[in-house]
Amino acid sequence: MVGDIMKRIDIAKDFTDTPLGRYPTDGPYSGERFREEFLYPALKNDSVSVVIDGTEGYGSSFLDEAFGGLVRKGYYSADQLVKLLKIECNDSDYAIYRDLIWKYIKEASMQIA
Amino acid sequence: MAAPNMKADKSQHPLADTGKVLPGQGKHKSVGNRRHRQKHRQWLLRQRKKQMRIRMRIKRRANSGARRLSGLHLNAHTKTSVSSDKKSNITVILPAVLDFDENYERTASHFAVLREAIQDNKRIRRIDFGGIQSISPSAALVLASEVDRWNQQVGGRLKADVSSWKDDIKRLLCQMGYFELLHLDKPIEAWPAKNTTFLPFKRGQANSENSGQLAKQLRMEIETIVEQRIKRHFLFEGLSEAMTNVGQHAYRDEIDNSRKQWWLSASYDEDEQKLCVTFYDQGDGIPKTLPRSGFFETVKDVFNTWTDSQKIEAATQIGRSGSGLKERGKGLQNLVEFAKVHSVGKLTIYSLHGMYVQSYKNDGKKVMQTAARKDFDNSIGGTLIEWSVTL
């Protein structure tokens, strides 16, 4: 169930300010590594807020693997993620990535359907 | 009078109305249609193969000046500018205009000779920069990559008569880091202030910890010379996907990650407020890596008749990468964003023998897009991505 204090992952501060690539073979700050070592462990039995501001930016490979991968791997359904996951951004430049994250989650759920 | 002509036309195309009822037509209309479509596809294929044969014949004629020198393949553009001494030491005289826009074939031919010499561990004695009158940022980056490879693979000291270099060229090559590459002493003269500033090129490799940091470093250097903040997240989006593509697709048969290299640079023209960012890899090229996609399965009948520029165009569209996985294929689409968000922007991709360019005009309300493509006789030896935007 959702805890009283929502867990918070600030990608720029907790992971890297230069996220890059899909798989660990693309580099140490890949979407898969973020999902497996940060996002998925934090999501277990709790809701999580992910702050996406402050990085250099995001390529679609990183976002798709990190967030869409949660659905493709069968960890969560898109509906569950709507309840558990909050994407935070205060910089309007990064709002586009918040929209892309939800787009990739939706696309992933369509792929596995 | 019209009848014989019509008959002649009918004989060329299998779908022309012959007046005959094809097997499967009538009661079994769907079967007939399928056969029609199949025949039409076969006819299209034959036509494309015919065009390819004609194109190849023209190409062979154009390359009639081809010859070999110390194992190197020379063509009409390089046969007089590449020489070899008795000990097979190679000298390459670079052409006056090194520019893929204005002088593609000659520029690419000279780089191809250098690449071949480096791959075959030939001894390059001298690369003559003295005759260069102009060099574009993209050509300068590709040349830097060749010299850099030579340094890594063969090494040594190249003979270079810096005093014969044109001042503008000397300044550009100095700013880009050529003097370090060529192990030359940096000139101490102060350069007159010029409109265009070049940033030192950076080399990275697949699966490297510092790829993202190199992109960040370039962004900070760009912001220093343009004296304003740029749309950094869009630049990083494009660069990070270009870097990811190098690791995943560009060097398919290379096991050693340290050989999966890319090069990156930027320049800024203050008068025109034009920023140019260039990224180059010496991999297999987009046209060769596209055939592994799921999309390919649906078009494989005609795919081999496509030119390289057509394949690049297809690859830039969503869902058409070389991975074959449904979730992949978004990468190349990321490249256009940095060009799209500026008032005037252009993304040019050269890969193997093809070039595809997308130009944008953005007035803040709507984005106007135009696209063009071109094919060449000589290959660029990998993939070159160039973003050109007006700040």
Same fold, B63-186 and B207-391: no
- Tell me what ipTM this predicted complex has: 0.90
What is the DSSP code (8-state) at residue B382?
A: S
| Nearest by CB: B233 against A25, A28, A56 | A56
**Structure tokens given for A87:** 């994407």
How far, in Å, CA of B64 to CA of A87, rounded?
62
| For chain B, domain boundaries | 63-186, 207-391
pTM of the model: 0.81
* Nearest-neighbour CA in chain B from A72: distance (Å): 9
pLDDT by residue for chain B (391 residues), tens only, comes to 333 444 444 445 555 544 555 444 445 556 668 888 888 888 888 888 888 888 877 776 666 566 777 778 899 999 899 988 888 888 999 999 999 999 999 999 999 999 998 888 888 888 899 999 999 999 999 999 998 988 888 777 777 788 888 888 888 889 999 888 888 888 776 666 678 899 999 999 887 888 899 999 999 999 999 988 899 999 999 999 899 888 887 787 777 777 889 999 999 999 999 999 999 999 999 888 776 555 555 566 566 778 999 989 888 875 544 444 554 456 677 888 899 989 999 999 999 999 999 999 988 888 899 999 999 999 999 999 999 999 9
Show the DSSP H helices in A31-72 as ranges.
Answer: 31-34, 40-43, 60-63, 69-72
Q: Please name the CATH architecture into which domain B63-186 falls.
A: 2-Layer Sandwich (3.30)
| Closest A-chain CA to B247 | A26
Q: Are A30 and A57 in contact (CB under 8 A)?
A: no
Residue of B nearest to A18 (CA): B212
Cβ neighbours of B215 in A, within 8 Å: 18, 20, 56
What burial letters (b/e) apply to B113-123, b meaning 16+ CB within 10 Å? bbbbbbeeebe
Instruction: Check B327 against A65: CB less than 8 A apart.
Output: yes
Query: Which of 3.30.565.10, 3.90.950.20, 3.10.129.10, 3.10.180.10 would CATH assign to domain B207-391?
Result: 3.30.565.10
Residues of B in contact with A94 (CB under 8 A): 233
Q: Three-state SS for B98?
A: strand
